[in-house]
């Protein structure tokens, strides 16, 4: 039996696809609320939709949760493993006259629905089988419907919206058990939340319409209602329902694009929650600061540019022990042999210029390459025949200096520029292309010191040979 004063939240995804950011934010809000109040966070897989639910989706959801560091205290529970519990509750409602069997055919229901819509009425079941006391051995396929009270109203408190009232005569006699004896979503949710002692249900406001349907079932079963908090939906920048065209991807796709888990959590929390004007939070800070009273009622708008900016800020503070294996994994997948110690040495040079882990890997790859592929446009512009002898002379000079003192590199480089009466950029850019393959990099002398004498000399000579090659 759970402690009635304990905060208990849950995340209950349907495993019909990958975990996208809307579901991820719901999980984060529930997890943070439980952690903030020393409560429990429960993971439940709502897989009653047998046709669309897949084990692959469950694996993806679990992987996404683990990657975001959203640990759960109980579960994962699968609804398909709890069928006997649901059936016992259905039987109880049948015995108490609070549910009934319905043998209406789909064709009859469709005909009645069309007629109601044509007459301007709200389409719902007309209760044709209610009160008939149809037996289980009636010889016809049947569903079980909940006998919704027809008088009065159902009042539910929402922690974000205040009290919300619904007239009972507007509610339908919803199906709680299908003809194949599988229970339905709205019924399973009530039984699960009650049995698991869920104290707070934090979910998207697209579920607000389900709340009265579930509330009357809670009452019929004699269960206390949890506290509800319906969070506004996430919209695209254009104010329309969020979709992939707004840049919204699954959690794992953001991981693969080099977004850090703490940064994604940080950004998704800020979609609907605030703490002053602050934008960047660590996970520990969020666990200490998050609460429902700072959640806004207005819909949040997804902005991928803002997400990447948040990630760039986290890139500056993520420990090397976390960043190094992430970068190493990307480089390894590309066939690049990059020792962890070398990655860690290069990271301070590249972090300030990188917004994602992938960008760090991109900018680090040329440090470990045996040969450099030149960007065609950069090579055409900077690796000219005129610069070839200058590059060869620079290579000779570099071979005779001590690279362990970085100032030696810069002094010799600038000295050669002065001797030849050149502008610094007219030698620096060809050398940058020679060393990195492109025209963008950290400071040239920092790059040269990090590469070391051998690679610098070898690459500059290779670039000079390339520049001398006829078109």
Please compute Rg for the chain using Cα positions. 32
- In this structure, the number of other CB atoms found within 10 A of the CB of residue 148 comes to 24
DSSP strands (E only) in 26-168: 40-45, 74-78, 99-102, 143-146, 153-158, 162-167
- In this structure, the number of other CB atoms found within 10 A of the CB of residue 166 comes to 17
Of the candidates 315, 371, 370, the residue with the CA atom closest to the CA atom of residue 347: 315
d(CA 112, CA 20): 37
* Secondary structure class of 48 (helix, strand, coil): coil
Of the candidates 414, 441, 457, the residue with the CA atom closest to the CA atom of residue 349: 441
Report residue 261 CA to chain centroid gap.
8
8 Å CB contact between 433 and 391: no
Q: Is the dihedral of CA 322, 327, 332, 333 positive or negative?
A: positive
Q: Is the dihedral of CA 273, 275, 277, 281 positive or negative?
A: negative
Pairing outcome for strands 200-204 and 227-231: parallel
d(CA 187, CA 406): 70
Query: Which one from 244, 381, 420, 465 is the annotated catalytic residue?
Result: 244
Of the candidates 235, 241, 232, 102, the residue with the CA atom closest to the CA atom of residue 179: 102
Residues with Cβ within 8 Å of residue 342, at least 6 apart in sequence: 367, 368
380 is catalytic: no
What's the chain's length in residues? Answer: 471
CA angle, residues 354, 377, 258, in degrees to nearest 5: 20
Active site residues: 244
């Amino acid at each position: 039996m759970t402690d009635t004063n304990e905060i208990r939240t849950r995340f209950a995804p349907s495993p019909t696809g990958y975990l996208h950011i809307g579901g991820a934010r719901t999980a984060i809000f529930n997890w943070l609320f439980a952690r903030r109040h020393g409560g429990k966070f429960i993971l439940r897989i709502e897989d009653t939709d047998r046709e669309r639910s897949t084990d692959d989706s469950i694996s993806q959801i679990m992987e996404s949760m683990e990657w975001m560091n959203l640990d759960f205290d109980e579960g994962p529970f699968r609804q398909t493993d709890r069928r006997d519990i649901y059936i016992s509750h259905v039987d109880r409602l049948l015995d108490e006259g609070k549910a009934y069997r319905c043998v209406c055919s789909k064709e009859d229901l469709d005909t009645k629905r069309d007629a109601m819509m044509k007459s301007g009425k709200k389409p719902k079941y007309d209760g044709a089988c209610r009160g008939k006391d149809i037996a289980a051995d009636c010889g016809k396929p049947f569903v079980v419907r909940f006998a919704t009270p027809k008088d009065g109203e159902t009042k539910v408190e929402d922690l974000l919206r205040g009290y919300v009232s619904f007239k009972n005569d507007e509610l339908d006699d919803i199906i709680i058990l299908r003809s194949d004896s599988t229970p339905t979503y709205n019924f399973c949710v009530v039984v699960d939340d009650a049995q698991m002692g869920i104290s707070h249900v934090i979910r998207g406001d697209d579920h607000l319409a389900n709340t009265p349907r579930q509330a009357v079932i809670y009452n019929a079963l004699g269960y206390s209602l949890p506290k509800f908090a319906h969070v506004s939906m996430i919209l695209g920048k254009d104010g329309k329902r969020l979709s992939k065209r707004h840049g919204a991807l699954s959690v794992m796709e953001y991981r693969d694009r080099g977004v850090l888990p703490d940064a994604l959590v940080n950004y998704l929390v800020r979609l609907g929650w605030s703490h002053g004007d602050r934008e960047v939070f660590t996970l520990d800070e969020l666990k200490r600061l998050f609460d429902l009273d700072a959640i806004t009622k207005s819909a949040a708008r997804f902005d991928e540019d803002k997400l990447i900016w948040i990630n760039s800020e986290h890139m500056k503070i993520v420990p090397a022990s976390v960043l190094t294996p992430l970068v190493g994994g990307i480089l390894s997948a590309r066939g690049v042999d990059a020792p962890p110690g070398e990655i860690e040495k290069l990271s301070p040079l590249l972090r300030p210029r990188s917004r994602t882990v992938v960008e760090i890997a991109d900018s680090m790859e040329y440090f470990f390459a045996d040969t450099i592929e030149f960007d065609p446009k950069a090579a055409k512009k900077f690796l000219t025949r005129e610069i070839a002898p200058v590059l060869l002379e620079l290579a000779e000079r570099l071979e005779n200096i001590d690279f362990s003192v970085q100032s030696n590199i810069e002094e010799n480089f600038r000295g050669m520029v002065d001797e030849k009466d050149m502008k610094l950029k007219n030698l620096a850019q060809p050398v940058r292309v020679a060393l990195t393959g492109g025209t963008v990099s950290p400071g040239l002398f920092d790059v040269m010191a990090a590469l070391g004498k051998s690679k610098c000399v070898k690459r500059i000579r290779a670039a000079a040979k390339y520049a001398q090659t006829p078109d």
